[in-house]
Structure 1
């Protein structure tokens, strides 16, 4: 009986399917021989010639710890390490942004310390490249080649990019030239990752791997929306979390290199923090995102423009600001002398303030980018070597561990450091407690961080 009912039910279901076929949008599309199948190929045929393969060679100073047994040859006060120059080779990608001038953008880490830079085009031609300038803190470098019949990529307004937009990554992962992967924009304004000094990344799930660095992230029109720069992965492989430097940020930096031969960072002259739920409740704010101004420094661009402590900066040049880190990156890379229109919230009312950015001290970075326990300090490369503490905010983690303005960090775990890059590298590779060797006036002392 049950079997008969089942057979009858199956027959009725089959009859319904025949008389009521699946809606058109649910069917697998069929394309006749006369119809064109949707494809990214036409766009990529126009765009991929603008993405180049970069190979570099040079030498780097490598530090090696000296075995304890050998230190006796140098006496009790002998060195605990030795240095030597070692040759290296590397591969990466680049993007032609000006066919007439032969300008190619890539990541600074692709060409750093390189003595020889070779660019290979899609058509097989190779050229020696000249380095015009670079910015390690934002990981952008500008190269130039002398060549004809180049293809350049058109720049998109990356501030108009939205989460969910399609994105295509083009580069040379693991030396596999002209590799194309696709995905979407996963997030915008990513910062605080400790990858670079100034972070305002576009996040994408388009596959990015070693060798993609410096390559292009483009939209469906083939316009450049970002320069691929880093991935988040446990073993250095792709897990669908990649980061690109926004095209607008890259253009601001490149324009400065072309105009001045160097980066002239913009400075607003404020101290602040992200807008949080606790801050929103305490200050009775009607926004949940933005950059809260804790303090306006005297004789700064912010004070001249009339910014006040307690203001919340919610936009810059018409684009939303979601965090203090995002504001900091946009201001620094826009450049000194440029004007910015800031949308602020004051006493519950929105208003616009125009500010002309001052120049940030050369090499100055937020110490939180180097180590979380140094948050609240600003540092720069010290004359004669080491890292100078320029500013320490009251009650900040940096103040709590005992750092003072004008301190100079000259070493970590009894190994000397020459600059910010070396300090960052040593703290990244530390195991357990790190002892910072501080020079304070004529006194030497140690500050411990975990």
Structure 2
């Protein structure tokens, strides 16, 4: 009986050894199945992945610390309830090269927010300093430019994100947890997602391709290697992936980037309506067959919506021929199209399909921090001044800042720099690209013209 057991164990050991023994050196995995090549994402990724970069940032953030009432006695009666302290920070993220000739890189605003130094590493290991050209906090998009000219850069081609469908394959490329470039795959789980943060403009692509901390600003591509979106957020405990990730549609990102390049900031478009989602109950009450769209509850006077002929009770179902699913999607698309852009709205009124044309107006809150343009202007906030005189208006000045010390005031309109005309933030940004040692600002103040010289 003992011999039989030993024999059985020996046979089992031999069988296991054969199962786990390495393949002969001449053996290889099959390259084809039934005469067809094995499917692989590798050829596409070899072309696309060099366009995705890692971004490392350093800076200082102001942290406010509240002093408990029990301890304020020791600091005297005039001590403020909160103390502000600057604390250094470091961060990691990802970015996508969208213009190889000019060294333009798109990433998320939250990746570079408050950064004093931005360092970009390419897939091949080369590193460059980068400058922030402009960003938009409310849509979480930022545009960087490499400070040095770099050879052999790869830019990523763009898809049409308005043509995406739920179920399309998706590949996420980024730098999770600082590990280096990583690729994950999945599908598009949903489109037009909003409601993560009601203060911002959201029209997200949802995907189950694994997105983790550090993927922010990376690429979401299709199987053709075209950019569908910029990875920006995840929904999960402790920053971990649970199969719910979000990306900003590339059409939305491109519109914002084009505005930053042309004007130096985002010129927020405004339609001039308030409303809500079109729910099933609301659709039934109005006798509508559709369950998707944006219900208009109010039209603002003298707005683009009023000029188009919109009325309260209308249902907006498309923008420029592309259907919309919700009021949040309408809000995001209109805001990121940009002021001055013509739009065609598809509207349902009393069961009748209508088309209405209008031109978007500029939202009054569109502005940018001047230190994004030049350190000497730190402390000023700027916006385009479209009425005469055309230029750049100083909308706010921080007390004690560099801009205040150099003599800039709230309400000033910058119309020239170093004898060059300035009509918008884009003009000012281009003139400051070479970092001139002296800034001779031509200012219009209280209907008078003057010069401020900043050295």
Change (3 A) 1:363 1:32: closer
Are 1:359 and 2:379 an aligned pair?
no
Equivalent position to 1:193, from 191, 196, 199: 196
Shift in Å at residue 278 of structure 1?
Answer: 2.2
Which residue number in structure 2 is paired with residue 168 of structure 1?
171
Shift in Å at residue 252 of structure 1?
Answer: 0.5
Which residue number in structure 1 is paired with residue 17 of structure 2?
none
Which residue number in structure 2 is paired with residue 59 of structure 1?
60
Shift in Å at residue 75 of structure 1?
Answer: 3.4
Q: Is the 8 A contact 1:157 1:248 kept in 2?
A: yes
Matches of 1:30 and 1:52, distance apart in 2: 31
Matches of 2:396 and 2:40, distance apart in 1: 56
SS state at 2:56 partner: strand
Which residue number in structure 1 is paired with residue 145 of structure 2?
144
Matches within 5 A, 1:39-188: 39-76=40-77, 78-145=79-146, 146-188=149-191
Matches within 5 A, 1:14-413: 31=32, 35-76=36-77, 78-145=79-146, 146-194=149-197, 197-362=200-365
Q: Is the 8 A contact 1:169 1:181 kept in 2?
A: yes
**Which ranges in structure 2 are unaligned for 5 or more consecutive residues?**
1-29, 368-394, 399-455
Q: Is the 8 A contact 2:134 2:143 kept in 1?
A: yes
Q: Is the 8 A contact 1:138 1:196 kept in 2?
A: no
Matches of 1:300 and 1:340, distance apart in 2: 14
Matches of 1:317 and 1:84, distance apart in 2: 48
Shift in Å at residue 285 of structure 1?
Answer: 2.6
Shift in Å at residue 31 of structure 1?
Answer: 3.0
Matches of 1:235 and 1:183, distance apart in 2: 22
Q: Which is further off, 42-51 or 352-361?
A: 352-361
**What's the CA shift string for 1:106-158, capped at 9, x where partnerless?**
00000010010000001111100010000000000000013121000001000
Shift in Å at residue 182 of structure 1?
Answer: 0.2
Shift in Å at residue 383 of structure 1?
Answer: 6.2
Question: After the TM superposition, which segments of 4 or more aligned residues of structure 1 sit over 4 Å from their partners?
Answer: 32-35, 382-385
**What's the CA shift string for 1:272-316, capped at 9, x where partnerless?**
111112222322233211111111111110111111222110011
Change (3 A) 1:383 1:119: closer
Matches of 1:310 and 1:35, distance apart in 2: 57
Q: Is the 8 A contact 1:51 1:96 kept in 2?
A: yes
Matches of 2:207 and 2:365, distance apart in 1: 32
Change (3 A) 1:115 1:384: closer
Matches of 1:32 and 1:180, distance apart in 2: 25
**What's the CA shift string for 1:337-357, capped at 9, x where partnerless?**
001111111121112111110
Matches of 2:33 and 2:183, distance apart in 1: 27
Matches of 1:195 and 1:204, distance apart in 2: 20
Q: Is the 8 A contact 2:268 2:366 kept in 1?
A: no
SS state at 2:347 partner: strand
Q: Is the 8 A contact 1:52 1:95 kept in 2?
A: yes
Matches of 2:234 and 2:325, distance apart in 1: 22
Matches of 2:300 and 2:198, distance apart in 1: 28
